Amino acid sequence: MAQVNPLVGDIPGNTDMVIGTVEKILATRAPDMIVFPELVLTAYPPEDLLLRASLDIRIDNAMARILACKFDTHLVIGYPGREDGRLYNMLAVICRGEVVATYRKQCLPNYQVFDEKRYFHAGNEPCVINIKGVDVGFTVCEDLWEPGPMAQAAAAGARLMVNINGSPFHVDKLHDRRAVLQQRQSEAAIPVIYVNQVGGQDELVFDGCSMALEGDGTLKALAPACEEALVPVRAVLASGQVSLEQGETAVMEEGAGLVYKVLVQGLHDYVTKNGFKGVVLGLSGGIDSALTLAIAVDALGEDRVHAVMMPFRYTAQMSLDDAALQANNFGVSYKVIPIETVYESFMASLAPEFEGTTVDLTEQNLQARCRGVMLMAISNKKGYLVLTTGNKSEMAVGYSTLYGDMAGGFDVLKDVPKMLVYALSRYRNAVPGNAVTEMIPSRIIERPPSAELAPGQVDEDNLPPYDILDKILELYIEHDQSAHAIIERGFAHDTVMRVLRLVDLNEYKRRQAPVGVRISKRGFGRDRRYPITSGWKLGE
């Protein structure tokens, strides 16, 4: 199982990776088959790159290079292939320079982050070939989430199923995958080799976790999450049946630990694949920026992370102290740049426009926008990517400032609810081998969260308690429940109506927000598409 991290669109580079991976394996082993992920030559998802006129030329060149190597093993390669003028999500089995079989994906997902029907036609035929006496069936990703293709392959004589994937992470995804595979196996009673892509691609993170399951659903091999891996699986034919020997099974983190690993992977790949020198972020002394800093250091190393504290008259000394302490704990470059004079310059310039008005949110937002200007200037000058630090709870209800704290290129916490921010922070402090006991100072975790844009301000002046807010948001955003349905669960009527109204009103902000890692089944981005201009009324 070749669990690799390709780069979307880099067909020559991905071909080099495939060839290099095969050469590396064959230098020490003699496998009968090497299985790569879905669409490995383009990486997943290539989106509208599939519409480019030169796609076929580039894929043909890539396949010709692989065939020319004449590797003495069966290679399973995923690629976009055109037949009779139609584009398919395809799989080829290659051996000694010949294509011995092809398969066209039958079940095209068109939900959440998937839109394959936009690009591909569906196949309708099974693919079963004999390799060393074993009749092996082949399918692609979604084909195992529906009963038809597996049953079709088994009816055609398959005694072992190979399924290649580009399956992105969300919380509990590994459990979901195993449940689906076990359901298919209960129907066909044959082992499954499931090979998944790994790595970050914009807001998606492919966690890998390639696996091999016996015909009764027993786990026989498991690749690690968020790491490239070459995992051997041994299939044994006896009395006409195939069984899998026990192989390598990675120790899987669960809960906050796995989410943290996914966030690190997503940030690392976004920064490195896009060629940024490093990242810069505003370190406020609050928990969101504290967690973002920790993830950044773990993803990129302290030398590629620059933190900036930008205090104003409302910034507490506690915030200054805690930000400095955390920056020192993580060993990052750290600067303090007050925004008082910048703010006053803006106010002086705006005085004629503001004459006769009273102080309101405008002045608070101007503070955030001063900070945004500072961070973007540093980004331009030094080639750093600006990390914003807003969490999913804030993004949902618009508790953020356009062109202020939303100004930047990537938001690690974009799909992380506030209560999970706390859990992830505690998790990071508990990681063995920390330089100090509390890499994120406990006071940052324990103090009431505040934007510090007004005297004595705390978030709960404007929002419900986060434990309540997060539950309402999950029901509305991830489960599409109506206002009435949420109220019937015991939440206060006025609170629910206010929160849901804020979510709807702030769609225009989210459309202008940076991309960020998706960890839920319904993140803000590819898989939640609501109109900005809408007359939809809350209720049923």
- The catalytic site residues sit at 38, 105, 141
Dihedral angle computed from the Cα positions of residues 489, 492, 498 and 504, in that order, rounded to the nearest 10 degrees: 0
Per-residue burial over 496-528, b = 16 or more CB atoms within 10 Å of its CB, e = otherwise: bbebbebbbebbebbeebbbbbbbbbbbbbbbb
What's phi and psi for 523, nearest 5 deg? Answer: -90, 170
Distance CA 459, CA 395 (A): 13
Q: For residue 476, what are its two tokens?
A: 């509305």
Q: Which amino acid is present at 261? A: K
Cβ atoms of residues 539 and 482 within 8 Å: yes
Q: For residue 209, what are its two tokens?
A: 């976790």
Size of the chain, expressed as the number of residues it contains: 540
Distance CA 127, CA 149 (A): 10
Task: Count how many Cα atoms sit within 13 Å of the Cα of residue 209 in the half-sphere of its side chain.
Answer: 24
User: Degrees (nearest 5) of the Cα angle 387, 498, 536?
Assistant: 95
Distance CA 354, CA 292 (A): 36
User: Degrees (nearest 5) of the Cα angle 189, 101, 46?
Assistant: 90
Beta bridge partners of 532: none
Distance CA 465, CA 480 (A): 21
Q: For residue 71, what are its two tokens?
A: 């590797």
